[in-house]
Structure 1
Amino acid sequence: MTLPHDLLAVGSGGVVGFVLGLVGGGGSILAVPLLVYVVGVPSPHVAIGTSAIAVAVSAAANLVGHARAQTVKWPCAVTFAIAGMAGATIGAQLGKMVDGARLLTLFGLLMVAIGLLMLRPRKSGGDPDVRLRRETMPQMLPSLIGIGLAVGALSGFFGIGGGFLIVPGLIGATAMPLINAIGSSLVSVTVLGLTTSVSYAWSGLVDWPLAGLFIAGGMLGGFVGTRLARRLAVHKHALSRIFSGTVVTVGLYVVIRSLSAS
């Protein structure tokens, strides 16, 4: 790799980390387009495999802070993650079987859908005392497993962390508060990212030096984004809307670009 290529990789990782720190999620959806169109990774499959490991590392780092703050509902989070891991294994295998150009088209459509979903206001209520125990298992377990499998399959197929799918999924399955859903979702994002990256690495579809540069950039960008987020806290909703519009726009670009190339 050349110096300009390395700088583009670090810079692209920095963009993802910056967005994650600034608006609290969603940045990983930009990883694959950045790797393909900015860094110049020729294979969408390599871009997905490489971004998956970067997403997993970023989520694991953020999970430490949430665990210390005791915002993780561990039994619910682990159950969801195990179901998601099974789904991600299936999704990753299916994703590798799909033509690269078609996969990018589908990825772009997913970006548009997620960007629109991000515009919906999040409910801050919920039951802070919710627990997965013997009495609540008949009600919560089917939802946790079913939604976990579905989200995991999408995560593995597209190589994304899936946080914006996991958070509402956990709330829908358990009625836990938003802060607990965000903290608990990081368990699944870490596990799903690792599951997807292992599957792609097994097929030789991970660029490890590039992943290292991307992760390094992500850590730097995350530090800057987190500090800026504290100063712009009053504008959080406006920032989320701007980012949602960016995701939709990039998604449409990916769809148009991939369709014109096919």
Structure 2
Amino acid sequence: MFDVILFFCGNVLLGAVLGAFGGLFGIGGGLIAIPVLGMLYGMDQQLAQGTALVMIAPNVLIGFWRYRQRNSLDLRAASVLGGSAVFVTYLSAWYATVISAGTLHFAFNLFMEVLGCYLLWNVLRRKSLKPARAPLGQRYLPVVGVVGGAVSGFFGVGGGVIAPPALVGFFGMTQTAAQGMALALVSPGAVIALFTYAYAGHVDWKIGIPLAIGGIFSVSAGVALAHKLPERRLRLCFSIALIVLAAWLLLRG
């Protein structure tokens, strides 16, 4: 009985750490959670992604609410992003459940490596991502929603990380507002993806539920930190962490 309690509390604590990262970087906690679950519990890629979604689904909803409290987020634009992502998220999540775990594992690690290098490049070039020309109109938002939804469904995460640069660079949003809108993009899709992975039997609820409980209590603190700490330094650390972790996982096979 003591071992069960210790196991539960340990996962709650892990979920709290990952939830704080998720609030801090928009959805960065999910990117870290998947390889951590694979390393700690020997989960294959599908099981790790499905179990991480148990934590991610409530965290992104809370995160969006907290970002909206601190930023003037356009709810109509948020609805467009989230709505345009739902169907393609389901399709890509379904496909991720039927391909081989090894193929998905390699693709996920390669995605992390490319994403980390891209984010690092954005940080190091020291230039604003805001366009010199007028921002694009909202009629182009579904493009961001579809791409973000496809990535989120296939990898369980990712749409919330690739969307902010596009929202800042092409739509003229501030970084924190873009992170909040990215959470709106992935929120409905995360729920759809979770049910898709669960239906395919790729969710460990005994681990996922305590992770979710821990994340629920910490994601708000992560959002608060995102509005206080130096953004450039945080993104530099996060980018390097992704590159190193992905490289280690790729070499490890």
Q: Distance in 2 between matches of 1:174 and 1:144?
A: 9
Partner of 1:133: none
The CA deviation string for residues 54-80 of structure 1, in whole angstroms up to 9 with x for no partner, is 112111112222333452222222112
Q: CA deviation at 1:158?
A: 0.6
The CA deviation string for residues 77-97 of structure 1, in whole angstroms up to 9 with x for no partner, is 211211211211111111112
Matches within 5 A, 1:57-96: 57-96=58-97
Partner of 2:174: 177
3-state SS in 2 of match to 1:86: helix
TM-score if structure 1 supplies the norm length? 0.80
Which amino acid in structure 1 is aligned with residue 45 of structure 2?
P
Q: CA deviation at 1:221?
A: 4.3
Which amino acid in structure 1 is aligned with residue 97 of structure 2?
K
The change in CA–CA distance for 1:7 and 1:114 in structure 2 (over 3 A counts) is farther
The change in CA–CA distance for 1:229 and 1:191 in structure 2 (over 3 A counts) is closer
Aligned residues: 246
Q: Distance in 1 between matches of 2:178 and 2:222?
A: 21
Q: CA deviation at 1:8?
A: 4.1
Partner of 2:201: 204
Given that residues 124 and 177 in structure 1 are in contact (C-alpha distance below 8 angstroms), is that contact kept between their aligned partners in structure 2? no
Partner of 2:148: 151
Given that residues 167 and 173 in structure 2 are in contact (C-alpha distance below 8 angstroms), is that contact kept between their aligned partners in structure 1? yes
Q: Mind listing any 5+ residue stretches in structure 1 that lack a counterpart?
A: 131-135
The CA deviation string for residues 167-191 of structure 1, in whole angstroms up to 9 with x for no partner, is 1233455333333322222211211
The change in CA–CA distance for 1:195 and 1:72 in structure 2 (over 3 A counts) is same
3-state SS in 1 of match to 2:202: coil
Q: Distance in 2 between matches of 1:62 and 1:150?
A: 21
Q: Mind listing any 5+ residue stretches in structure 2 that lack a counterpart?
A: none
Q: Distance in 1 between matches of 2:192 and 2:24?
A: 27
Q: Distance in 2 between matches of 1:82 and 1:173?
A: 20
Which amino acid in structure 1 is aligned with residue 11 of structure 2?
A
Given that residues 26 and 182 in structure 2 are in contact (C-alpha distance below 8 angstroms), is that contact kept between their aligned partners in structure 1? no
Asked if residue 239 in structure 1 is aligned to residue 234 in structure 2, the reply is yes
Partner of 2:212: 215
Which amino acid in structure 2 is aligned with residue 20 of structure 1?
G
In angstroms, what is the RMSD of aligned CA positions?
2.9
3-state SS in 1 of match to 2:203: coil
Q: CA deviation at 1:198?
A: 1.4
